Chain A
Amino acid sequence: MQTRASLRVGDQPWVKWSLISLALFIVGTLLIVPLVAIFVQAFGDGVQGFLANITDTYTLHAISLTLLVAALTIPLNLVFGVFLAWLVTRFEFPGRKLLITLIDIPFAVSPVVAGLLYLLLYGSNGWLGSWLMDHDVQLMFSWPGILMVTVFVTCPFVARELIPLMQQQGKEEEEAGVTLGASGWQLFRRVTLPNIQWALIYGVVLTNARAMGEFGAVSVVSGNIRGETNTLPLHVELLYQDYNAVGAFTSASLLAGIALITLFVKSFVEWRQARQRRVLDEVSE
């Protein structure tokens, strides 16, 4: 049955191999080499130098501030994301479509603009800022401000992961649960959560990666106070400006390490999700 017309691009070995080597070359020069370079630079002064840079007071503080912000951002966005996804997939109400679109605002807006918006609102010349100033509340240029913009920038991740999945799964199982007399909490714990858990983890992984790596929005509201409002990405820039290239790359290697771990966790979760989907398909057949 095979005719010459069905021969596709890539069936000829030379096309295939030149495409593969081109792809490898691009991946190598654009991704792998810079990644390796980060670690080579970080260990430029040997392991001792690396450790000395990591244990620097300001670096330690930057690490803990970054972890603190991520640790607070994740639960906030987790609750918000689940609530939102549940709302738009389980209920019909006017403006539902609009709400789904609005969730994406933080993706559409440049992080720097997001930072400036918060500054204009909560800065001492802002609408709310002058009131806060009179009541001696400092949000901008301190860690709560950093947390606020990070939550803003990362808030779509969880909801975006959940909405398509929950739409696909439908509400039959939950309705079955209700008829069997499950309370709201039982329903969530026993029916909804197990169905969405891998998508949820996926969303959390993405939120975490972005929360730790965010530069633009945070840099606007940080005030760059060393040992107080300097997050890890800002710390990298600051060290680089100080001509401390090894220190900068040491901090950068931490961020790169987080990114790599994120990637592995992400692939694992994707694999689990795919498996769950297969199981679901088999059951429905």
Chain B
Amino acid sequence: MKLVKHAKSVALALAIGLSSSHSFAADQTLLNSSYDIARELFASYNEHFASVWKEKTGKTVEVRQSHGGSSRQAQAIIEGLRADVVTYNQVTDVDILHTRGKLIPADWRDQLPNASSPYYSTMAYLVRKGNPKGVSNWDDLARDDVSSVFPNPKTSGNGRYTYLAAYGYAQKAFEGDEAKADEFVKTFLSRVAVFDTGGRGATTTFVERGIGDVLITFESEVNNIIAEFPDHGFEVVVPKVSFLAEFPVAVVERHATRNGNLELAKAYLDELYSEDAQRLLAGFNYRVHNEVVQAEFADQFPAVELLTIEEIAGSWDDAMSIHFANGAKLDQLQRR
């Protein structure tokens, strides 16, 4: 029977293929659910953690990674993806693990230092070679000869951060005069050339389609884009005031307990705060809290006044209802 022979050879090929990727069986495995652009960061950190864990306990650990838009990742966990830890780029996405899934305690932000955010970043500008429009701060982006590109705040966390950063700047600049701040942000939004749905799309618009004078995204991303497209000679500009973008982490206690990984999961997140790990994170262009590492990377991270969500909108819940809900401030200001 030809068919049987064929089926056998396929099965063999599959077995080889599958076994090649599981060639070394680790003593323990951990699943980390993370945001979509953090793959290389965690590939590197997982290696670091595996050696630390091996030294400490003598056991080998293999950390599996799941990457995607962090809202969708959180949704998958609520639907049953058994991740042991989450490492996201938005506080709201960790919060819903408590509010909708009761998978983590309400006080998850108090479980680890710095409000459970081992590293942070801020919104920065990517400008074309030589910064021809002389862009240095948010007020430049409201000029009528400057057009900017960033993802739509309606669909993207990245875009929401940019909107909040601009709003926070306006609140400061106009000393809390809400009407003036609104007017500024309205002008700022009207100068946007294209609203893409996500960060990757905005990058493509700016780099490959050549649209806009400024691309606004995470500082950590800006540096990656420069590295990715060295021929374009892009430059980073960090505004004087910007938004504190936190990268919250949490142990998904229900799942980790079930997987028998609670201790391992906690150690995995604790290790992120160690000096070596903080150095590794800084190497990926994230800002960190460790003072020794901060001093080492002082040149790379220009001083910036960081506004928190509490300063700008009170809390994430308020920010969502005041700014981003249907018909709320963002919609009103975008009406041209």
Q: Report which A residues bind B (CB closer than 8 A).
A: 57-58, 60-61, 63-65, 67-68, 71, 119, 123-126, 129, 133, 138, 140-141, 223-228, 238, 240-243
Closest beta carbon of chain B to A123's beta carbon, Å: 4
Establish whether residues B68 and A224, one from each chain, have CB atoms under 8 Å apart when the complex forms.
yes
Q: Provide a sorted-by-A list of 7 A–B residue pairs whose CB atoms are within 8 angstroms.
A: A64-B20, A123-B80, A224-B66, A224-B67, A226-B64, A226-B65, A227-B64
Closest beta carbon of chain B to A232's beta carbon, Å: 12
Identify whether the interface residues of B are mostly helix, strand, loop, or mixed.
helix
Closest beta carbon of chain B to A87's beta carbon, Å: 24
Q: Which 8 A-B pairs have the closest CB atoms?
A: A64-B17, A124-B80, A123-B79, A61-B21, A141-B81, A225-B66, A223-B81, A224-B68
Beyond A71-B10, A227-B21, A241-B200, whether A125 also contacts B79 by CB under 8 A is yes
B224 surroundings in chain A (CB, below 8 A): 243
Q: Report which B residues bind A (CB closer than 8 A).
A: 7, 10-11, 13-14, 17-18, 20-21, 31, 36-37, 39-40, 64-68, 73, 76, 78-82, 200, 224-225, 228
| Beta-carbon nearest neighbor of B16 in chain A | A64
Residue in B10, B14, B79 whose Cβ sees the most chain A Cβ within 10 Å? B79
| Beta-carbon nearest neighbor of B15 in chain A | A64
A57 surroundings in chain B (CB, below 8 A): 20-21
Closest beta carbon of chain B to A262's beta carbon, Å: 16
A138 surroundings in chain B (CB, below 8 A): 80, 82
Closest beta carbon of chain A to B178's beta carbon, Å: 38
Establish whether residues A67 and B13, one from each chain, have CB atoms under 8 Å apart when the complex forms.
yes
Q: A141-B79, A242-B39 are in contact. List 9 more A-B contacts (CB 8 A).
A: A67-B10, A67-B13, A67-B17, A71-B7, A124-B78, A133-B80, A138-B80, A141-B82, A224-B68
A241 surroundings in chain B (CB, below 8 A): 36-37, 67, 200
B13 surroundings in chain A (CB, below 8 A): 64, 67
Establish whether residues B14 and A64, one from each chain, have CB atoms under 8 Å apart when the complex forms.
yes
Establish whether residues B20 and A60, one from each chain, have CB atoms under 8 Å apart when the complex forms.
yes
| Beta-carbon nearest neighbor of A57 in chain B | B21
Closest beta carbon of chain A to B104's beta carbon, Å: 15
Establish whether residues A242 and B81, one from each chain, have CB atoms under 8 Å apart when the complex forms.
no
Beyond A224-B68, A225-B64, whether A71 also contacts B14 by CB under 8 A is yes
Q: Roughly how many angstroms separate A138 CA and B67 CA in the complex, as a whole number?
A: 19
| Beta-carbon nearest neighbor of B43 in chain A | A226
| Beta-carbon nearest neighbor of A227 in chain B | B21
| Beta-carbon nearest neighbor of A241 in chain B | B36
Q: Roughly how many angstroms separate A57 CA and B17 CA in the complex, as a whole number?
A: 9
Q: Roughly how many angstroms separate A241 CA and B7 CA in the complex, as a whole number?
A: 35
Establish whether residues B67 and A226, one from each chain, have CB atoms under 8 Å apart when the complex forms.
yes
Closest beta carbon of chain A to B286's beta carbon, Å: 17
Establish whether residues B21 and A140, one from each chain, have CB atoms under 8 Å apart when the complex forms.
no
Beyond A123-B80, A125-B79, A224-B66, whether A64 also contacts B10 by CB under 8 A is no
Q: Roughly how many angstroms separate A270 CA and B37 CA in the complex, as a whole number?
A: 45
Establish whether residues B14 and A68, one from each chain, have CB atoms under 8 Å apart when the complex forms.
yes
B80 surroundings in chain A (CB, below 8 A): 123-125, 129, 133, 138, 140-141
B7 surroundings in chain A (CB, below 8 A): 71
Establish whether residues B82 and A63, one from each chain, have CB atoms under 8 Å apart when the complex forms.
no
Residue in B37, B67, B73 whose Cβ sees the most chain A Cβ within 10 Å? B67
